[in-house]
């Protein structure tokens, strides 16, 4: 299956179990892998035969910046279902959502959840 991959989309959102996270907000990084047939777009060079990745970015940005979830798992699930609901050309997708600076007293590079969802 062909893929369109959107990497490193960074947004500021208000998600977390702790009240401070939902009040102060923090940075989130989203990667998407959209599985779909890209042959028509490749042969026609016509934007209407594919998914406009600028629109996908705007959809994800709206979710991350304007909704609030306690768990990043719930945020990732909402992104996955919204993309599948909006873009019927997408057969399946992988969402990788990273919280680079969780509020812990120890240092680590962040936490990431990864979801795979398909229409089948």
The structural domains of the chain, with segments of one domain joined by +, span 3-118
pLDDT tens track for 16-62: 999 999 999 999 999 999 999 999 999 999 999 999 999 999 999 99
How many C-beta atoms lie closer than 10 Å to residue 74's C-beta? 14
Question: Spelled out in words, what is the top-level CATH class assigned to the domain 3-118?
Answer: alpha beta
Name the pTM for this structure: 0.94
List, for residues 104-115, the tens digit of each pLDDT value.
777 778 899 999
At 120 the pLDDT is 82
Catalytically annotated residues: 99
- Residue 20 CB contacts under 8 Å (≥ 6 apart), including other chains: 103
pLDDT at 98: 97
Q: Could you give the CA distance from residue 111 to residue 101 in angstroms, rounded to a whole number? A: 8
């Amino acid at each position: 299956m062909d893929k369109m991959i959107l990497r490193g989309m960074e947004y500021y959102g208000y998600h977390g179990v702790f009240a401070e996270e939902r009040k102060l907000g923090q940075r989130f990084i989203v990667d998407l892998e959209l599985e779909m047939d890209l042959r028509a777009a490749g042969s026609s060079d016509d934007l209407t035969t594919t998914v406009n990745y600028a629109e996908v970015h705007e959809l994800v940005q709206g979710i991350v910046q304007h909704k609030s979830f306690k768990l990043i798992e719930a945020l990732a699930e909402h992104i996955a279902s919204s993309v599948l609901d909006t873009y019927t050309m997408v057969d399946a997708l992988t969402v990788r959502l990273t919280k680079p600076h969780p509020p812990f007293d120890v240092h680590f590079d962040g936490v990431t959840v990864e979801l795979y969802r398909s229409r089948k």
